Amino acid sequence: MLRSLSIFRIGRLAGLCLAVLGVPSFAQSEADDSQKLRFFDDEVLPILEEHCLKCHGAETKIKGGLRLTSREGLLRGGDQGPAIDLKKPEASLFLAMISYRDDDHQMPPKGKLSPEKSVVLSRWIAMGAPYDPRRELAAAPDENSGRPILAEGRSYWAFQPLKAPQLPEVNEVAWRKNPIDTLVLGKLSANGLSPASAAARGTLIRRAYYDLVGLPPTPDEVRAFEADESPGAFERVIDGLLASPRYGETWARHWLDLVRYAETNGYERDGPKPEAWRYRDYVIGAFNSNKPYDQFVREQIAGDELDEVTFESLVATGFQRLGIWDDEPVDADQAFYDSLDDVVATTAQTFLGLTVNCARCHDHKIDPIPQADYYRMLAFFRNTFENIKQGEFKKSAFTLNTTTPLATPAEQEDYARRKNELKERIEGLEAKILPFEDTIVATFSNPEKDDAKDERTRRALIERKQEAALSAEALAEYLNLRRELGDLKRVALQPLPQGLVIRENGAKAPETFILIRGSAHSPGDMVTPGFPQVLGFPDPEIPAQPEDGKSSGRRRVLADWIAGRQNPLTARVMVNRIWQHHFGRGIVRSSNNFGKLGDRPTHPELLDWLAVEFMRTGWDMKALHKQIMLSKTYQMSSQANEAGLQKDPNNDLFWRFDMRRLRAEEIRDSVLFLTGNLNGKMGGPSIFTDVPKEVLQTASQPDRAWGESAPEERNRRSVYVYVKRSLIEPVLGTFDLADADSPCAVRFSTTVPTQALTMLNSRFFNQQASALAVRLQREAGASPEEQALRAFSLALSREPTRAEVATAVEMIDRLQSEAGISAEKALERFCLLVINLNEFVYLD
Amino acid sequence: MKSDKPINSFCGQTRREFVHTAAGGFASLALSGLLELDGFFVRPARGAGVDQVLRSPLAPKKPHFAPKAKRVIFLFMYGGPSHVDTFDYKPKLYPLDEKTIEIKTFGRGGHKSQGRVVGPKWQFQPYGQCGKPVSDLFPHLATCVDDIAFIHSMTADSPIHGSAMLMMNSGHILSGRPSLGSWVNYGLGSENQNLPGYVVMLDRTGGPISGAKNWTSGYMPASYQGTVFRPKGDPILDLKHVDGMAPREQRTLLDFLHRYNMEHAEKRADNSNLEARIASYELAYKMQSSTPEAVDFSKESDTTKALYGIDQPRTADFGQKCLLARRLAERGVRFIQIYSGGSHNDANWDAHSDIVKNHSYHAGNTDKPIAGLLTDLKQRGLLDETLVVWGGEFGRQPTAEYAKGTGRDHNAYGFTMWMAGGGIKGGVSYGETDELGSAAVTDRLHVRNLHATVLSLMGLDPNHLSYFYGGLDQKLVGVEGADPIRAIMA
């Protein structure tokens, strides 16, 4: 006993020395149990209490899953494994942590323990971590039962196989034709509500135009539709709109929000993503050509692994390269997984409506998605992002910006040949120039020769000395050769088109490990590609790839599974999105989250009916639009009635059509359309609008923050405006553009005074007001009545009332008489008023 | 519809409502709530269950507990000031000047295990009752040390500007998160509806790297994002008409707009968004007069202006911003951030080649204005309720970056920030770096602790202030949470 006590004392005094020498000797000593416990109580527990138990002993939430309030807690350990190793105490994780040896594993986080305290804890571990049972605090009963229960999760509605629902009986004949109506009306009737009356034809055609092409109808189109009372009139309008290229431009924008489309990487340099616009054009084309949705899915996930790989399908894979990317990562290994996480999160939310990303660090707290499922999904993409080693980012061939030529082998060969020819000619000229320059350089002084090691300085020196060094004749010949070389170097070979695509590193994918707490530095168990277990699919077989194959074939398997008819989520998620952009909200309002934290469908049968129908028609998106728009439900008025407001103020049951504010792009495009300035040119590299100096000045390099496009280019549709992560186009940004750093399923629609300032005071809106005034004068002459009439017809798709015209005339008069401005200016102000009207920016 | 979701509450909303708002499920986040304050509406909004729709995102909200500070002024020393040359006195570093020593560093130049020491280039003198040593870079600010709590043991996740800026402003090295000012406005709303609740003033040379990402509201509605304010010219974008519209003319236009919009809204009385939009034009109209009034210094005395150094060419620019910050603070702006330094390299505190030239310049531009701000706030009784934060995205290494010169590379292992005012103990220093200033060793703190402190002082519980996005209850301090720095809180 005395002997042991003395060891304690020496241990405390001798500090670090004994940490090495003393531990084994103590471990071999024969201290009895009560001795050990007293050591624990007197020496160890105070340290634990002071430095550890706040996070690892709390009654409710414990950090890292590690509980240090019992010996069992130490043995069981936390997310990183057992804290102590009884067989090899010196190798215990606990000791590694407090030693601060490794940058990523240091405890306590506030600072390294004093050497004295470290010795005490080392001794304690060495003796097998005795714990005074009277001081133990057991784990809370539910602490370890929070794991998602897969079996229970399987009964969740979104994971049920799809089947066509039974249609209810409804009385109204007109509502029996379209199952959408039957299902909506059935529910309304059950709740004692009746649907709103049909919208006026002018309202309906305006609604249809905005929904499908993002622009208003012209007054002539409105008149023609109002006059056409034949049965198929509205259907013909829909067909015409679906056939318009403007349709793809409008619906592509919804999709681009989901896939966090941007054309720069973010961070310090916010560098451009080369050729990203081709992906935007791919999406526009996919909607316009009515590409079957399952094909659309397959191409984006695995366009390079399909049976038939096309340039189009390659460009589609650019979807995986659109995310944020730090070209100077603080931790390259972690950054590699951040990039994969971006793809996993976007893929799961966009195609499956699942927030699998919540399981990156631990099992999903609410949804039945264990952490392993996250890494099983990540394994499909594991071969796509090559790691950048620390500090080598500048030299690395890997960037998110990898492009590939979109050209046939023959075209590529031809290009290489021409490039080579040019190179040879340049080299030939350079060889001729060399002797002249040698002569000039020979006249350099020694310090000049030193300076000339820098090419730019060498060039400057040569230019300064050439006249003195060469004869007039030689100089002339030399300058001629230089000119020729310059001309040749300026010859721009028409470069091959390039695509921003995903590429794998060969046929064999590296192994994938579960990362404990999401840390790239803490690999856990190995996993292989697999689907979320709750959905109950067998683990996939990845077909063997030829050894020299370009890719692992994994994404193809994932794509086929997502686009497969057995998948209960894919069709539900997509029909919900299409519904959302017609009705302003999805049947499931949280359209990227079909999990337990998302909203329940207001009409589950309707959702299923649409999904089944969607697949039945071969994933035909245009057919789905048409089916929806031909329903009475879609054609209802937005007018409220007392019963509806009382019983269902949020319109969960669709007793009327919800009004909505135009989106940012619709506002800008409509204003340009109204004035006749909208340039309908499609596709190609993005354009730069006229951005005020004040906005450019917010960038770290104001002069290089934005580009310049020709005036008519600036007036193209908003979907073509350059998307730069660190500089948001101000007109669009004012009206709740999606943040491009993460997927955006539902845009906000805020109402703030700065929007009013933009619409009243900014250059863009005032320029357009002037342009509208010019148009009115041209088309309606000098009469204020006629001008007002025309303005309302153009902007609101309806004829104004007499009173409205009279008000307009009164305003134009008063501006002249009271504010003393000219008739032209007064008309411009009236035009500004028109584009500021609530009726212009809100759809009925 | 029955919800089988866990019973839980988020900012007084049920989970369902929260998810809903977060997903933008409502047609609009309307302004009506704040206009109720102004007695703007005569007609009550229709329909039950639409309370959330009627609340303005910026309407004042109750804090979680009694706040110590009503507003924040964050003086952002962009580029990373050197702590060993400013407030973290390291006497042992001077004699090591030019000596190569074993030392673990991580900066732009990567991980290194040895380096050439650059001795501190300024002398330190003790100041105030607390005797805090401050370097000769800050002769004016040094007189305020008894009101300041210095935090010497700051650490951050990244010593690289791109990710470090995002870390300091939004708590995470990955882009896309809302910034601190957005969280504060989301949690508390704004006291003054005629001015933005979150104002950012940038350096003359340009914004910091990543521009608008530094004051973004990320996945939250844009109503919470920072508004860039300019002390000269048009203070906010589009506040004035592009080619001048006489007030009379504009009033006529607005009156007619109101007439048309009211008629339109009459048939759609249940849609509060329309009323909100009508109201937003009146608010915009008010902003046009209240904003210039806020930036108008004509009623400020020469003594006050001199206090901020506005009478000196060197300090006039930053001084104006500091004075404007005080005026905005008085007018209820909740979060004000001022950048010292912009653009790249030596246009900010990023002293890679010559620390003397760089820091003399930036400290010289800001020392007097910041001291003036603290003094002025104090003499007006505002300091007690205004939290002032000073610091950059990281500090600098005790060793040189290059073979020659006095430049220092970035250092996120240990650096200094300070706070003063609302709820802060004055004259204290907390935490320590090692004796060379290379890393925090005692009471190490993370940026999250700093953020937690700001939120706590504003009356918000950092571990409960959350926003549902991407399937998670997102928090500024992350899923792990963080404690405020209680030792410096009064």
* CATH code, domain with B194: 3.40.720
Domains held by chain B: number = 1
- pLDDT tops 70 at residue A397: no
Q: Do B284 and A757 touch (CB under 8 A)?
A: yes
A236 touches chain B (CB under 8 A): no
Q: Which of A48-62, A611-625, B409-423 has the lowest mean pLDDT?
A: A48-62
Average pLDDT over residues B40-67: 56
- Encode pLDDT of A368-391 as tens digits: 999 999 999 999 999 987 655 444
Chain A nearest-CA distance from B439, in A, is 10
Residue B409 belongs to some domain of the structure: yes
Q: Which two tokens stand for residue B460?
A: 């918000």
Taking CB atoms and an 8 Å limit, are A330 and B160 in contact across chains?
Answer: yes
Which chain B positions have a beta carbon within 8 Å of A842's beta carbon?
271, 273-274, 277
Residue A31 has pLDDT above 80, yes or no: no
Q: In this predicted model, what pLDDT tens digit does every residue of B382-408 receive, in sequence order?
A: 999 999 999 999 999 999 988 899 999
Residue A828: closest C-alpha in chain B: B253
Could you tell me how many CB contacts below 8 A there are between chain A and chain B? 328
Cα A646 from chain centre: 39
Mean pLDDT, rounded, for A85-95: 89
* B327 in contact with A, Cβ within 8 Å: no
For residue B363, tell me if it sits in a domain.
yes
| Stretch A772-778: mean pLDDT | 98
Asked if pLDDT for residue A29 goes beyond 60, the answer is no
Which band of pLDDT confidence, cut at 50, 70 and 90, is reported for residue A530? Answer: very high
Q: Give me the mean pLDDT over the B3-9 stretch.
A: 36
The reported pLDDT for the residue numbered A58 is 67
Model confidence at B354: pLDDT above 60? yes
Q: Quick one: pLDDT at residue A495?
A: 87
Q: CB contact, 8 Å: B211 with chain A?
A: yes
- Which token pair is B273? 């968004």
Q: How far is A548 from chain B (nearest CA, A)?
A: 36
Any chain B CB within 8 A of the CB of A638?
A: yes
Q: What is the pLDDT of residue A138?
A: 65
Partner-chain contact B242 A763, CB within 8 Å: yes
Question: pLDDT-derived band of residue A34, with 50, 70 and 90 as boundaries?
Answer: confident
Cβ within 8 Å, pair B209-A268? yes
Tens of pLDDT along A219-247? 999 999 999 999 999 999 999 999 999 99
Residue in B230, B260, B471 closest to A837 by CB = B260
pLDDT-derived band at B282, boundaries 50, 70, 90:
very high
**Mean model confidence pLDDT for chain B:** 88
Cβ contacts of A111 on chain B, cutoff 8 Å: 153, 440-444
Residue A12 in this model has a pLDDT that exceeds 80 = no
| Structural domain contains residue B325 | yes
Task: List pLDDT tens digits, range A306-322.
Answer: 999 999 999 999 999 99
Q: Is the pLDDT of residue B49 over 50?
A: no
Chain B residue numbers touching A706 (CB-CB < 8 A): none
Integer Cα distance of B307 and A427 in angstroms: 67
Enumerate residues 645 to 664 of chain A having a beta carbon within 8 A of any beta carbon in chain B: 645-646, 649-650, 652, 658-661
Percent of chain A with pLDDT over 70: 93
Q: Does B287 touch chain A (CB under 8 A)?
A: yes
Per-residue pLDDT averaged across A23-40, rounded? 65
Residue A364 banded pLDDT, cuts 50, 70, 90: confident
Using the predicted structure, report yes or no on whether residue A537 has a pLDDT greater than 70. Answer: yes
- Is B457 domain-assigned? yes
Task: Note the pLDDT of residue A36.
Answer: 86
Chain A, residues 278-337, CB within 8 A of chain B, namely: 324, 326, 328-330
Residue A821 touches chain B, beta carbons under 8 Å: yes
Partners of residue B226 in chain A, C-beta under 8 Å: none
Phi, psi for residue B198 in degrees, rounded to 5: -145, 110
Secondary structure (3-state) at A451: helix
Which stretch of A35-39, A698-702, A813-817, B100-104 has the lowest confidence by average pLDDT?
Answer: A35-39
Report whether pLDDT(A756) > 50.
yes
Contacts of B3 in chain A (CB under 8 A): 600
- The answer to whether A326 touches A335, Cβ cutoff 8 Å, is yes
Chain B residue with the nearest C-alpha to that of A759 = B238
pLDDT at B30 over 90: no
**What is the structure's pLDDT at B199?**
97
Instruction: Name the percent of chain A lying above pLDDT 90.
Output: 72
The reply to whether B426 falls in a domain is yes
User: Is 50 exceeded by the pLDDT of residue B147?
Assistant: yes
Residues of A in contact with B239 (CB under 8 A): 757, 761
For residues A136-142, give the mean pLDDT.
61
pLDDT bucket at B220, cuts 50 / 70 / 90:
very high
Asked if A761 and B230 come within 8 Å (Cβ–Cβ), the reply is no
Separation of alpha carbons A68 and A216, rounded Å: 66
CB–CB of B27 and A659 under 8 A?
A: yes
pLDDT category of residue A28 using cuts at 50, 70 and 90: very low
A781-785, Cβ contacts within 8 angstroms, sequence gap of 24 or more:
A784/A808, A784/A809, A784/A812, A784/A813, A784/A827, A785/A809
Residue A22 in this model has a pLDDT that exceeds 90: no
Partner-chain contact A111 B157, CB within 8 Å = no
CB proximity list for B247: less than 8 A, separation 6 or greater: none
The whole-angstrom distance between B241's CA and the closest CA on chain A is: 4
A72 — pLDDT class (breaks 50, 70, 90): confident
Closest CA to B406 of B164, B69, B4, B117: B117
pLDDT at A171 exceeding the cut of 90: no
Contact assignment for A841 to B277 by CB distance below 8 Å? yes
SS3 per-residue string spanning chain B: CCCCCCCCEECCEEHHHHHHHHCCCCCCECCHHHHHHCCCCCCCCCCCCCHHHHCCCCCCCCCCCCCCCCEEEEEEECCCCCHHHCCCCCHHHCCCCCCEEEEEEEECCEEEEEEEECCCCCCEEEECCCCEEEECCCCCHHHHHHHEEEEEEEECCCCCHHHHHHHHHHCCCCCCCCCHHHHHHHHHCCCCCCCCCEEEECECCECCCCHHHHHCCCCCCHHHCCEECCCCCCCCCCCCCCCCCCHHHHHHHHHHHHHHHHHHHHCCCCCHHHHHHHHHHHHHHHHHHHHHHHHCCCCCCHHHHHHCCCCCHHHHHHHHHHHHHHHHHHCCCCEEEEEECCCCHHHCCCCCCCHHHHHHHHHHHHHHHHHHHHHHHHHCCCHHHEEEEEECCCEEEEEECCCCCCCEEEECCCEEEEEEECCECCCEEECEECCCCCCEEECCEEHHHHHHHHHHHCCCCCCCCEEEECCEEEECCCCCCCCCCHHHEC
Question: pLDDT tier at A54 (50, 70, 90 boundaries)?
Answer: confident
Closest among A281, A406, A257, A388 to A332, alpha carbons compared: A388
Contact B27 A661 (CB under 8 A): yes
Say if residue B27's pLDDT is above 80.
no
Q: Does B472 touch chain A (CB under 8 A)?
A: yes
Residue A621 near chain B (CB below 8 Å): no
Q: For residue A109, how many C-alpha atoms fall within 13 Å in the half-sphere facing its CB?
A: 19
Kindly state whether residue B390 falls inside one of the protein's structural domains.
yes
Question: Is A750 within 8 Å of B29 when comparing Cβ atoms?
Answer: yes
Pick the residue with more confidence: A257 or A10?
Answer: A257
More confident: B41 or A541: A541
Residue-level pLDDT at A59: 62
Q: In chain A, which residues have their Cβ closer than 8 Å to the Cβ of B246?
A: 819, 821
- Put simply, the answer to whether B221 touches A326 (Cβ < 8 Å) is no
Mean pLDDT of A773-781: 97
> Can you give the residue range of the structural domain that contains B463?
73-229+297-488
Examine the pLDDT at A772 and tell me if it is beyond 90.
yes
Which of the residues A642, A760, A830 would you substitute to probe the B interface, choosing the one with the greatest number of B C-beta atoms within 10 Å? A760
B-chain residues near A349 (CB < 8 A):
470
Q: Max alpha carbon distance in chain A (Å)?
A: 113
pLDDT at residue number A33: 79
With cut-offs at 50, 70 and 90, classify the pLDDT of residue B1. Answer: very low
CB distance B46–A700 less than 8 Å? no
Contacts of A811 in chain B (CB under 8 A): 252-253, 256
In angstroms, the separation between the Cα of residue B188 and the nearest Cα of chain A is 17
Interchain contact, B249 vs A821, CB within 8 Å? yes
Residue B135 in domain: yes
Residue of chain B nearest A339, judged by CA positions: B174
What pLDDT was estimated at residue A32? Answer: 75
Cβ contact, residue pair B176, A739, below 8 Å: yes
Judged by DSSP in three states, A599 sits in coil
Q: Best interface-test mutation with B: which of A261, A330, A366 has the largest number of B CBs within 10 A?
A: A330
With a pLDDT cut of 70, the percent of chain B lying above it is 89
The pLDDT assigned to B250 comes to 96
Given this model, what pLDDT does residue A492 score? 75
With beta carbons less than 8 A apart as the criterion, state whether B367 and B138 touch.
Answer: yes
